[in-house]
Structure 1
Amino acid sequence: MTETLSADTPPAATAAETGADRRLHPLTLLLNLSRQVPQAMLGLIALRFSGPDELRPWVGLLALAAVLAMFGFEYYRWWRFSYRLDAEELRIASGVFSRNVRSIPYERIQDVNLEQGPFARILGMAKVRLETGSSGSGDEGALDSVDLAEAERLRDVIRLRKAAQQAGTTAMPGDEAAVGASSDAPVLFAMDSQRILIAGIFNFSLVFFAVVGAVVNNLDFLMPDDFWDPRRLLDFLGLDDLFATLDLAARIASVVAALFGLVIVGLIGGIIRTALREYGFRLERTETGFRRRRGLVTLTDVVMPLHRIQAAVIATGPIRRRFGWYELKVQSLASDSEKESDHSIAPLASAEELRHVLAQTRIAWETDHSAMRAVDPAMWWVPLVFALPVPIIGIGASAAIASPWIALAYVLLPLVPLISWLHWRAHRYALLGDQLYVRSGFWNQTLTLLPLRRVQSVDIKQSTVSRFIGLAEIAIGVAGRPSAVTIQAIPLEEAIALRAQLLQLS
């Protein structure tokens, strides 16, 4: 429940409450300022170089005033924020101009997760994220940031008091100490450096160019108008005359070399990105579910109760599958630290390792592509009948109006039906016992393992064309999943029968 108080009401409202008010770590001020100062500095730099002439000499004074104002506001907001562990609930008081006191009963708290960013790890602090599951917005309460020991104490005390409330007993202080001193849970899956390197190679990423693009977009006022001119770059590197003397074959070779360099940058970017996210990956089996810890710069500690897991997704690709590598995700009612419903619990694992982890969730993996039913071939050729004429006419018109070289794009058109055909070949489904299997995607292959007890709704959809040819699409709603599990292009009679089976078994 949420209470709105006046600005003069103290955080401790009544004498009956048993807990002691606590504030966030004082160094939270530095963390908050570190997030705001860079944006303010970019604005001041823009003002210095492209703002009105009469304001440019005052940039230094404006910067000092901005820093002091931000520090004053953050300090007052920190002073007004407090939290307290009462016997039955956690109370969080916040607000600068008006007070907002939130009371969260322990029995409603589903997850208590810890997160440490780079500065928080250096300073020995952590963010405590609480989720009650009453809305789809993710965590409903957050303490950013507290001392690491205090964060671990909060997690243990909240879990103990939640368990005590469910059992109808009262938690004792000695029991809280015992929880904090409990031994580590058994490890189900872990990632070493070699496996992180392999996963990074498969996770090809051009994030480097995205970062450079973001920086350039914010600092474009400092760059000359012809910054993106290739000849200017060649002239800057002293290669303009050399490139002009090259014949056609040498120029083609230089373009190929540039593309090869792009691939190398993508591989390095994928490795760095994967190492930052998956370093120290450790999946443990706790009394209630899974506990996942990972991260090199930002360390996350996430708990996933088994009763909140709705489905599992096995992701792979044609190359990864050839080497026997898969990724296992679970779709949960709880959102992880990245605000996603899919929790990666085995980023790069063999089939045997995946089945070992899946055994803990009561979700089976008992079939594969060859044993599953294919959908109707209309899935790949019907969209082409309506969509392919548009680029054919567009390329011809552009070549006639602008340049004949545009007609070379016709060489790429055969790839469109090929890709559509490959996606149709990959899309299959199977209903085995009390579990549904849905496979989709050619390059990014996903196999959804859906226990029928988790099915919330089953809808049959038909477009104008699908009604004409007697086909339908089934959309299966699952709690905690942002989009439905879909089976495309199956005969209407089969769709009706499958819907009846799914609803009956669910």
Structure 2
Amino acid sequence: MIQAKRYNPLLMLFQLFNLIKNSIFFVVFLFVIKAGSDSAFIKYGKVIFILAFVITFISIIIKWFTTKYAFDNKSFYLYKGIFSKSERSIPFSKIQNINRHTALFHRIFRVTSISFETGIKGENASVKFEVVSRIEADRMEAHLSSTVHVDLPSIQESDANMETFPHEEDDSKVNSIRVLHFKPTKKDTLKASFTSFSFLLLIPLIASLYFKINDIFHVEEEAEGVISEILNSWWLVFGIIIFLVIASAAFGIVSTYLKYGKYEISSDFDRIYITKGVINETSFSISKEKVQAIEIKQSTLKRVFGLAEVKLTSAGGLGSEEDKHEINSLYPYLPIRRAYEIVSDILPTYEVTEKMDRLPKKSLWVRLLWPSWIWIITTAVLYYFKPAILNVEKAWWIISACLFVIIGVTRLLDFYNTRYVLNDRFVQFKKGSLTTTLFVSKREKVIEVRVSRNIIQKLLGLASIKTINRAKPVYHAGIEDVPQELANVFYKWYKGRKNEIKLE
């Protein structure tokens, strides 16, 4: 019989902290701004708020007493309820990713949160411990790693920016070596702060704070004379502009460091580890066997600076809402050559080919001549209303012409950026106009393929191909207007998957 135990008692304090944090707006509005209001709406609002707060507080305590957890060599077991009890078990074999998040609260009390993400859909998709001791989190993660082991090829260490860390030895395996593949330098942080445009966030932040304060304390009326004096003095205006530029640059660097500081990409025999954050620490761990595909993204500015973002696509969830678009990223501002090297280092079973095939020229005519519904609808609306913009008569056709040119240029760029390659075990697509995306997946990870043709494609001997991979949500990738011969080869290529897939 497995001995179940309650969650860490600090969980109640953590949930109470979140309750107070989420209640601040209502407290300020009801008890500060509307403190002297005689409105029945405000009076009843105060009563409802207090009742809701007390009920939620009591439910936090009851929930802690009525929920327990346990785990053995196969599964997690979660128990809850007093009169109506329920039990849920999650097999270790279903767990795809392991996420850790250490916020300021966790750092103060020397605890952490850990989430085990599965490929199951719905609210039962993860096993989450919002507050757990670091020793207990390490124990659960080590226990999972020791019971679910996948034999993979050994890792080839690269020569640059790599360190080794001894890992804890379990009863059945020798020591594994964790290899550090990337750690950002000061130069990398400066590039990241510029290409992310984080330095532009300071002025909107100040403006938003000013308007909020002005709504409460009416600062604008009090400072009206001071503002007019400043505007009449050119050197004061110039000094303020210089100060804002310097402050914005400093804000961008600091915010980027706080977000991506202590960023590390490492791996061992079985798993890939990504950690980031200075104040709020976040870590992401994924089994190499669970990686479904790789994405390498480049915006226009990143292409100028030779940077790229590498993302890992997995079947499991990626943690909280605020982190799910970033936590699986191998640093969003990697030098492009270094990105290719890191992919080869951490996933030696994957191949990224720089030499790829281009689309035939007839594909360009399909893209340029295909009607744009955005342009047609926009032009029809502009023609109907015929707005005069900046006192320019018939400005509507100028806007329509500019939109037509923009759509044509983006289609032209997308044609020149679109490339593809198929080899024995891999598929690789690259597409995009201003932002390009390079998709790489192994044939055994592709669960479905599709080939489609419209009327124009049939006349010109073209087709559209698409792959589908397991993810949350399901991941679709593909390119349009490829030669029909490639579509036929694509089907035959996918049929070879039956010799590679392994049934669980």
* TM-score, structure 2 normalization: 0.75
**Residues 98/429 of structure 1: CA separation in 2 closer, same or farther (3 Å cut):** same
Matched, 1:23 2:6: yes
454, 458, 469: which one aligns with 1:478: 469
Matched, 1:354 2:346: no
**Residues 447/86 of structure 1: CA separation in 2 closer, same or farther (3 Å cut):** closer
Match of 1:344 in 2: 329
Distance 2:326 2:366 in 1: 28
Alignment of 1:181-196 (within 5 A): 185-196=178-189
Contact (CA 8 Å) 1:92, 1:102: kept in 2 or not? yes
Alignment of 1:39-188 (within 5 A): 39-47=22-30, 53-54=39-40, 56=42, 65-86=51-72, 88-95=74-81, 98-135=84-121, 139-163=125-149, 185-188=178-181
Alignment of 1:349-388 (within 5 A): 349-359=334-344, 360-361=346-347, 362-368=349-355, 372-373=358-359, 376-384=363-371, 386-388=373-375
Q: Report the alpha carbon displacement of residue 407 of structure 1 after superposing the two structures with TM.
A: 4.6
Distance 1:282 1:312 in 2: 18
Distance 2:273 2:374 in 1: 47
1:355 maps to amino acid = Y
Distance 1:468 1:95 in 2: 65
Q: Report the alpha carbon displacement of residue 418 of structure 1 after superposing the two structures with TM.
A: 1.9
Matched, 1:279 2:271: no
Matched, 1:326 2:312: no
Distance 2:111 2:65 in 1: 18
**Residues 342/222 of structure 1: CA separation in 2 closer, same or farther (3 Å cut):** closer
1:350 maps to amino acid = P
Per-residue CA deviations over 1:190-216 (Å, capped at 9, x if unaligned) read: 223431231222122566688789989
> What value does the CA root-mean-square deviation take over the aligned residues?
4.4
Distance 2:127 2:492 in 1: 40
Match of 1:317 in 2: 299
2:342 maps to amino acid = V
1:457 maps to amino acid = E
* Local SS of the residue matching 1:198: helix
Q: Report the alpha carbon displacement of residue 184 of structure 1 after superposing the two structures with TM.
A: 6.2
State which drifts further: 38-47 or 360-369: 38-47
* Local SS of the residue matching 1:84: strand
Per-residue CA deviations over 1:24-50 (Å, capped at 9, x if unaligned) read: 222222221232334333234444557
* Local SS of the residue matching 2:433: coil
Contact (CA 8 Å) 2:292, 2:312: kept in 1 or not? yes
362, 379, 382: which one aligns with 1:392: 379
Contact (CA 8 Å) 2:271, 2:287: kept in 1 or not? yes
Contact (CA 8 Å) 1:373, 1:430: kept in 2 or not? no
Q: Report the alpha carbon displacement of residue 139 of structure 1 after superposing the two structures with TM.
A: 4.3
Q: Report the alpha carbon displacement of residue 307 of structure 1 after superposing the two structures with TM.
A: 0.9
Per-residue CA deviations over 1:133-160 (Å, capped at 9, x if unaligned) read: 3447784211111112221122222322
* Local SS of the residue matching 2:385: helix
Contact (CA 8 Å) 1:33, 1:71: kept in 2 or not? yes
Contact (CA 8 Å) 1:120, 1:126: kept in 2 or not? yes
Identity of aligned residues (%): 17
* TM-score, structure 1 normalization: 0.75
Alignment of 1:453-492 (within 5 A): 453-463=444-454, 466=457, 471-480=462-471, 482-491=474-483
422, 437, 456: which one aligns with 1:446: 437
Q: Report the alpha carbon displacement of residue 377 of structure 1 after superposing the two structures with TM.
A: 0.8
1:25 maps to amino acid = N
2:178 maps to amino acid = A
* Local SS of the residue matching 1:320: helix
1:367 maps to amino acid = E
Q: Report the alpha carbon displacement of residue 129 of structure 1 after superposing the two structures with TM.
A: 1.0
Matched, 1:37 2:26: no
Per-residue CA deviations over 1:137-186 (Å, capped at 9, x if unaligned) read: 7842111111122211222223224459xxxxxxxxxx987799968612
Matched, 1:201 2:194: yes
Match of 2:157 in 1: none
Pairs aligned (count): 461
Distance 1:194 1:179 in 2: 43
**Residues 56/136 of structure 1: CA separation in 2 closer, same or farther (3 Å cut):** closer
Alignment of 1:231-250 (within 5 A): 238-239=227-228
**Residues 177/101 of structure 1: CA separation in 2 closer, same or farther (3 Å cut):** same
Q: Report the alpha carbon displacement of residue 325 of structure 1 after superposing the two structures with TM.
A: 2.3
Please, which runs of 5 or more residues in structure 2 have no aligned partner? Answer: 151-167, 498-504
1:195 maps to amino acid = D
Q: Report the alpha carbon displacement of residue 485 of structure 1 after superposing the two structures with TM.
A: 0.9
2:130 maps to amino acid = D
**Residues 422/102 of structure 1: CA separation in 2 closer, same or farther (3 Å cut):** same
1:203 maps to amino acid = S
Per-residue CA deviations over 1:2-57 (Å, capped at 9, x if unaligned) read: xxxxxxxxxxxxxxx143x3222222222212323343332344445578614646
* Local SS of the residue matching 1:388: helix
Contact (CA 8 Å) 1:279, 1:295: kept in 2 or not? yes
1:154 maps to amino acid = M
Match of 1:405 in 2: 392
Distance 1:185 1:405 in 2: 65
* Local SS of the residue matching 1:343: coil
Distance 2:230 2:337 in 1: 58
Q: Report the alpha carbon displacement of residue 467 of structure 1 after superposing the two structures with TM.
A: 5.4
1:325 maps to amino acid = L
Please, which runs of 5 or more residues in structure 1 have no aligned partner? Answer: 1-16, 165-174, 247-253
